[in-house]
Structure 1
Amino acid sequence: MADARRSWATGSFLQDATHVAIETWHAYRTPIILTTFFVLFGLLIYLHLTEERGQLLVLPKIYEQDTKPQPEQQLDEKVVELPKATAASKTNGPRRIKGELNKPNKTIQIQEVSRSEEIQVLVFFSSITATTQKVASEYAQTLDKALSGIDTTSGASFLPIQVLDLAEVDLDEYFITPPKIKGRNGSFVDTFYLFLIPSYNIDTINDTFLEHMNETHHDFRIDTAALAPILGYSVFGLGDKEGWPTEDEGFCFQAKEIDKWMAKLTGRKRAYPLGVGDSKGDFKERLAEWSSGVVDVLSLVSQTGSLGEGVVGSGDPIESDDEEEAEDDDGEVLFDEGSVPNMSKLKQQGRIDDLEDLGRMIKKESGPAPVAVDFTSYGKRTAKKAPTQAPKEMVPKESPTYKSLTKQGYAIVGSHSGVKICRWTKSALRGRGSCYKFSFYGINSHQCMETTPSLSCSNKCVFCWRHGTNPVGTNWRWVVDPPELIFAGVKENHYKKIKVMRGVPGVRAERFAEAMRIRHCALSLVGEPIFYPHINEFLAMLHAERISSFLVCNAQHPDQLAALRHVTQLYVSIDASNRESLRRIDRPLHRDFWERFQRCLEVLRARRFRQRTVFRLTLVKGFNVEDEVAGYADLVEKALPCFVEIKGVTYCGTSTSAGAGLTMGNVPFYHEVQEFVTALEAELQRRGLGYGLAAEHAHSCCVLIASERFRVDGRWHTVIDYDKFFALLEERGPDGEFTPEEYMGPATPEWATWGNGGFDPRDTRVDRKGRAIEG
């Protein structure tokens, strides 16, 4: 009975306990579950944070000679002495190399390495006959002397240059990961690679080296930019044009390949463009140019520890010109197409610049061009005169206009001037063709600076290539910057923009060196140059440094045009042949725009024996082409310019001219431009005005009609003798009298004359992917 009672009591107790537990669970199950979850989650985080990171890697890290793996955080502290030329690195496991590719948008940034106080320049060479070895040794001595003259008091100093034969060094020690070299004070130094590479058509160390770089780049165990930690590199190629006359046929082809592979392995750290020289020709001159550029870069590196801000090279085997921003160039007038954004979007983008933009937004739908807004004052004012206010800046730094122009690639100088590098400058630097001014007038595009001292204009042309972002006005109402400030500022910013091109693949070292000396200024960027009150002083500064001047105005400021002193060539934009057409296409702000236009033609006629004068016609189908040949002939007959440039409008493809009804259909084909030009030339001949078809540049869709004054012994002489121009200017002064014929240059090159296309035979025309275009 006792056992039975104990069994019953125990069962009763368990039932009571179970009942209590169930009641407790139902009452507190939610907080119990949440508490358990957070405890487990906290435990998981604790285990994750305390676990060794190296245990999570699938592949092992870099091994030392004793094969002991190091933690990743100590990777950059690995000690490796300067390797011997014949030493070989042996490991017992796969190597995982981490290169520091500079990607500013990465979520996880690689820990920065402290800047070294010393720099080791390594000069690599290859040679069969020992010729390049001698060149490399002599070059290293010369470079050592040049580097010793660099002020390193506030920057890194240079160790004696090491000259290394690619046939003797262990390529793994230098081209899988940079060597850790100890400097004078025992700390590690930064390295900079230079290459002197001859090209051979037989198997040499060059082929081995190229294959090594190929394998390194594609090895899954090695980062694609394994040499990213080095400061930079540059390559110079030696060749023989007797065997390989052109680069396309093999001249310095192996140096070009090494340059491209190094761009990939270093994460685009091309410090200076590839240099090439003919060993039996211009080798010493080209090497001196390349070396001078390298010294400049090394000076910058020693002070800043980097190559500076700028455009980096792609390193792609097939080079590409694709860019995010639509390109433009001097003389290629662009227009936009697309929908008109709404008011809030325009405000956010900073695109509301004047009343005309507001009128276009109100209409929204494509239709006739808006009526020009008149800001001109006539007669006496009846309203109460507003209090005098201090003049404002034309383009303040905090304004939407400033932000828009700088985003488009402009450098704003002072408060109303700008400078921008032209796409033809980039093209010429890479040997891919120069603009029409080289074909017609002998101007090197890579030595041309495109600028304006006034970003404001008195027209709102439907094809304006600046997307309506520049300010407008009919009289100067802003702060006036001194010409000295503008001149110094535009030169400084132009050179900065040229310098950032040194890392672009395909840039030619000799042209890059030439580009660092401005020889021409195109005052046609945007706005109205003669609007600037001190334009004559600005021109004098250009001419004092023997920089030629091409000035383009819009035929709306006759008084300023009449007061203009000598320029190398004076342009007037002629966008229409009659009043109504001019109003529709130029959308001038002046009420008396047609009268101003006519007066400018009279000024041009009076100057035709003092300056080279040019009509610039921009053809836009549907606006100023059809049935206007006779009207244009009337204008030519009135002004009798020295030259008439006829050019088709260039499609841009953005969104601000839709209100004018422009589409891709308004862009004339080149054969249509040719038909218009031949019709205009025939009309001028019929009137006995003495003009003929002189030259063309099909790539720009541009043709030049010239006065017979520039035809000598049956050949056209449209090229300018710039030295003669400056000599005349210095001899007779800015107001002196001399004729355009006095500084007429040599005959126009045969390849540039009418019927021959006008593409520079020294260059190679390519498509958007960098592939050569045949024919």
Structure 2
Amino acid sequence: MTVDLYILAAGSALTGLVFYFFAGAEWSLWHLFTIPLYTFVFIVFLSLSIIKRFKSSSKPSESLTKIIPQEKNGITIVFGSVKGNCRTFAQSTYDKLSNELNCQVILQDLNDITDPEEFLQIQAKNQRKLLIFISTYEDGTPPPSATWFVRHLQEAATDFRVSKNELEKLTYAIFGCGNSFYDDNFNKVATELDRCLSELGAKQFIPTELADENSGKSIYGGLEGHYSKWSSQLKSAFQSPKTEKCDCSNENSINCCQSSTNNDHSIEKKQNGEQSRIESDDDDEGGGCKDGDDDIMDLEDMGDYMETHSPNKTAKGPPKEMITPIIRKSLEKQGYKLIGSHSGVKLCRWTKSMLRGRGGCYKHTFYGIESHRCMETTPSLACANKCVFCWRHHTNPVGTSWQWKTDDAQTVCQGAIENHYKMINTFKGVPGVLPQRLAEGMQIRHCALSLVGEPIMYPHINELIGLLHSKKISSFLVTNAQFPDEIKSLEPVTQLYVSVDAATKESLKKIDRPLFRDFWERFLNSLRALKDKGQRTVYRLTLVKGYNTEEIEQYAKLVELGDPDFIEVKGVTYCGDSGASNLTMANVPWHEEVVTFVKLLCDRLPQYGVACEHEHSNCLLLAHNKFHVGGKWHTWIDYERFHELVARHKATSGGETFTSLDYMAMTPDWGVVGSNERGFDPNDIRWYRKATAKKNISGC
């Protein structure tokens, strides 16, 4: 009888005890003996059950090497991934090899290997081939899922008690994913694994590939090009000289699969910054294998892409496109409409909301934009930061300077407008969409240059802004405070934002994960540059609980550097687990916590006051007291007046200047902090998602 059955029986006896006690039944000698006995048994076995379950829950899960028998001369594919690239490549390789070869192929996450020592010994004992897909994470560290595996190999390689022939029967190949923007840490983990395996006696059977995510610098045009080249080498390695299929399970498998073994573990540094293994003459021979993964291209399907990104072309050749096939697929899946080679546009959820009359975004409340007439776009999908709270899940490129093929400003502007109108047009006939709002939506009046990436990196950003203004489209540009010189040279925009994500050097590095080594100096200089801009300037603070919510004093000091017109304080929005960030719902502050933070910050900034609130967005606005005129806040924008002023500024080649006070407008009462509406426009109808709440049945 199991412990649980004993507990059930004892529980029944205890129930009987309670029944006899409360029912007033007559007690016999038998009852006096058996019921206490069952009660004792119940307590004993309950304790045993608790101990058993505790031990069971604390016991690590068994490695797949114990669950799946490891056949000799088979292939084991393992991966350690953060953003999913290594996982995707590993899955694609598994699909190919499973279909092409007549041997056992196993795919395994490094996170599932609880005993790396035993795992590697089993691979070596069975003379298996180990394919490792590994990325390099922050500061040259392995992905969290691969930390234990990498640490074990590092310790084993330096432990004098471990034989240097420990893994002599193991052959391996490594595909590393990294980004050359990180200089010394580029593919550090893949290089370290290669060194450790070599020192333990293992042998390569194809050269280690140090793939570069930086499409502008990589001679293969990004990760996909590297993978296509490497998978071609892999296919050649698993073919006999007669190009017959390899049967890794037969006795001649060593002569077949290990014929390409490379014992030279030196890494060649190329002048263009690329790192690669010394390769044999036939490294580029052979084709890819078809599989069902649309994220990966086989050589047969590379077509024009491989023509453009030929391995024979170096980084000194023509500039490459920023948007690689993997990036394109990922962004299009998220709803982006991509423009040219580096730009994109996407329909904001608040645009959709206002088309239905359900309310606008916080910029509608704070500054008077019409959310259904706002286009959200970017001329640069690349960014110099990898912020932990980025709601784009790091599917965009990164970079510290512009090095890609460049589209002209007219192409970007026209492409953004056309694609935006196409997306608006899809709402024709959608239940709940207001006809008047839909018609107005086909006339763009605002542009948020903040979709993703760093818009100010785009070489023709001033020309793009000029084109928008010529069409009477206002400009709201957001920069990540890493390009101070570009801020200084920026032409007037309707409103210029700087993301102030942290108030200390340590927390900024932790939150923004910047690529620049001098990120803090750039950050401070960007704030100083903001002070000299004549138009409206905004500090944008994103509060992340556990990261930056305790830095009120330091934030107050940063305000003095840039002297912004406004300070937006917003609680971080949790966008799900991306794998590239460890944020959870626990990092999202409650609205009351944001309100408290704003009040404490305002107490330290006597020249500012709390002006507006948008409860739905968990956001508040501090405004400089110069916008408090006649007892009323004037945070809204007179857009017609702005276009008049900027046109005169352009006509006089910058001779006629203007300031933020020249185009301010009064904030409506419903947008002011303390109003009953709490930032919700009374002209719209609030819509509730919860079934228990009151719903507006006029729309969907």
Alignment-mate amino acid for residue 404 of structure 2: W
Tell me, yes or no, if the aligned pair for 2:479 and 2:497 is still in contact at 8 Å.
yes
Where relative contact order (Cα < 8 A, 6+ residues apart) is larger, the structure is 1
1:336-347 matched pairs, under 5 angstroms:
343-345=86-88
Q: Distance in 2 between matches of 1:662 and 1:724?
A: 42
Q: Distance in 2 between matches of 1:595 and 1:753?
A: 36
The match for 1:551 is 477
Determine if the alignment matches structure 1 residue 568 to structure 2 residue 494. yes
1:159-308 matched pairs, under 5 angstroms:
none
Give a deviation string over 1:105-154, Cα, whole Å, max 9, x none: xxxxxxxxxxxxxxxxxxxxxxxxxxxxxxxxxxxxxxxxxxxxxxxxxx
Q: Distance in 2 between matches of 1:375 and 1:728?
A: 43
Q: What is the number of residues matched between the two proteins?
A: 419
Alignment-mate amino acid for residue 458 of structure 1: A
Determine if the alignment matches structure 1 residue 739 to structure 2 residue 659. yes
What SS does structure 2 have at the residue aligned with 1:650? Answer: coil
Alignment-mate amino acid for residue 744 of structure 1: M
Tell me, yes or no, if the aligned pair for 1:414 and 1:486 is still in contact at 8 Å.
yes
1:551 Cα deviation from its structure 2 partner:
0.1
1:88-107 matched pairs, under 5 angstroms:
none
Change (3 A) 1:585 1:724: same
The match for 1:512 is 438
Q: Distance in 1 between matches of 2:356 and 2:408?
A: 36
Determine if the alignment matches structure 1 residue 453 to structure 2 residue 379. yes
What SS does structure 2 have at the residue aligned with 1:424? Answer: helix
1:503 Cα deviation from its structure 2 partner:
2.8
The match for 2:393 is 467
Determine if the alignment matches structure 1 residue 625 to structure 2 residue 545. no
Change (3 A) 1:726 1:339: closer
Alignment-mate amino acid for residue 749 of structure 1: P
The one of 326, 329, 341 equivalent to 1:400 is 326
Alignment-mate amino acid for residue 742 of structure 1: D
Q: Distance in 2 between matches of 1:405 and 1:679?
A: 39
Give a deviation string over 1:713-750, Cα, whole Å, max 9, x none: 111000000000111111222634111111111x2111
Alignment-mate amino acid for residue 393 of structure 2: H
1:339 Cα deviation from its structure 2 partner:
9.1
Any stretches of 5+ residues in structure 2 without a counterpart?
A: 1-80, 94-132, 149-177, 185-268, 274-313
The one of 646, 649, 664 equivalent to 2:585 is 664
The one of 599, 602, 611 equivalent to 1:681 is 602
Change (3 A) 1:738 1:504: same
Change (3 A) 1:356 1:340: closer
Change (3 A) 1:546 1:573: same
Q: Distance in 1 between matches of 2:661 and 2:635?
A: 10
The match for 1:209 is none
Q: Distance in 2 between matches of 1:590 and 1:354?
A: 20
C-alpha RMSD over aligned residues: 2.9
Q: Distance in 2 between matches of 1:721 and 1:700?
A: 24
Q: Distance in 2 between matches of 1:487 and 1:353?
A: 39
1:468 Cα deviation from its structure 2 partner:
1.1
Q: Distance in 2 between matches of 1:618 and 1:647?
A: 5
1:605 Cα deviation from its structure 2 partner:
1.1
What SS does structure 2 have at the residue aligned with 1:461? Answer: coil
Change (3 A) 1:406 1:566: same
The one of 608, 630, 636 equivalent to 1:691 is 608
The one of 351, 363, 372 equivalent to 1:437 is 363
1:772 Cα deviation from its structure 2 partner:
6.3
1:356 Cα deviation from its structure 2 partner:
3.9
Change (3 A) 1:648 1:406: same
Give a deviation string over 1:374-426, Cα, whole Å, max 9, x none: 5479xxxx984676221100004xx1110000000000000000000000000
Alignment-mate amino acid for residue 469 of structure 1: T
Q: Distance in 1 between matches of 2:90 and 2:564?
A: 44
Alignment-mate amino acid for residue 740 of structure 1: S
Q: Distance in 2 between matches of 1:529 and 1:742?
A: 26
The match for 1:592 is 518
TM-score by length of 1: 0.51
Give a deviation string over 1:167-225, Cα, whole Å, max 9, x none: xxxxxxxxxxxxxxxxxxxxxxxxxxxxxxxxxxxxxxxxxxxxxxxxxxxxxxxxxxx
The match for 2:619 is 702
1:362 Cα deviation from its structure 2 partner:
2.9
Alignment-mate amino acid for residue 429 of structure 1: L
Determine if the alignment matches structure 1 residue 503 to structure 2 residue 429. yes
The match for 2:674 is 755
What SS does structure 2 have at the residue aligned with 1:412? Answer: strand
Change (3 A) 1:419 1:502: same
Determine if the alignment matches structure 1 residue 712 to structure 2 residue 629. yes
Q: Distance in 1 between matches of 2:134 and 2:524?
A: 29
Determine if the alignment matches structure 1 residue 646 to structure 2 residue 565. no
Change (3 A) 1:366 1:648: farther
What SS does structure 2 have at the residue aligned with 1:493? Answer: helix
The match for 1:766 is 687
1:711 Cα deviation from its structure 2 partner:
0.7
Q: Distance in 2 between matches of 1:540 and 1:586?
A: 30
1:357 Cα deviation from its structure 2 partner:
8.1
The match for 1:476 is 402
Tell me, yes or no, if the aligned pair for 1:765 and 1:772 is still in contact at 8 Å.
no
What SS does structure 1 have at the residue aligned with 2:443? Answer: coil
What SS does structure 2 have at the residue aligned with 1:522? Answer: strand
Tell me, yes or no, if the aligned pair for 2:86 and 2:134 is still in contact at 8 Å.
no
Q: Distance in 1 between matches of 2:179 and 2:622?
A: 32
Tell me, yes or no, if the aligned pair for 2:135 and 2:142 is still in contact at 8 Å.
no
Determine if the alignment matches structure 1 residue 364 to structure 2 residue 145. yes
The match for 1:539 is 465
Any stretches of 5+ residues in structure 1 without a counterpart?
A: 1-337
1:561 Cα deviation from its structure 2 partner:
1.0
Change (3 A) 1:532 1:416: same
What SS does structure 2 have at the residue aligned with 1:540? Answer: helix
Give a deviation string over 1:638-671, Cα, whole Å, max 9, x none: 111000000000111233244xx32110000000
What SS does structure 1 have at the residue aligned with 2:497? Answer: strand
What SS does structure 1 have at the residue aligned with 2:448? Answer: strand
1:692 Cα deviation from its structure 2 partner:
0.3
Q: Distance in 1 between matches of 2:455 and 2:516?
A: 17
Alignment-mate amino acid for residue 143 of structure 2: I
The match for 2:3 is none
- Percent identity between matched residues is 53
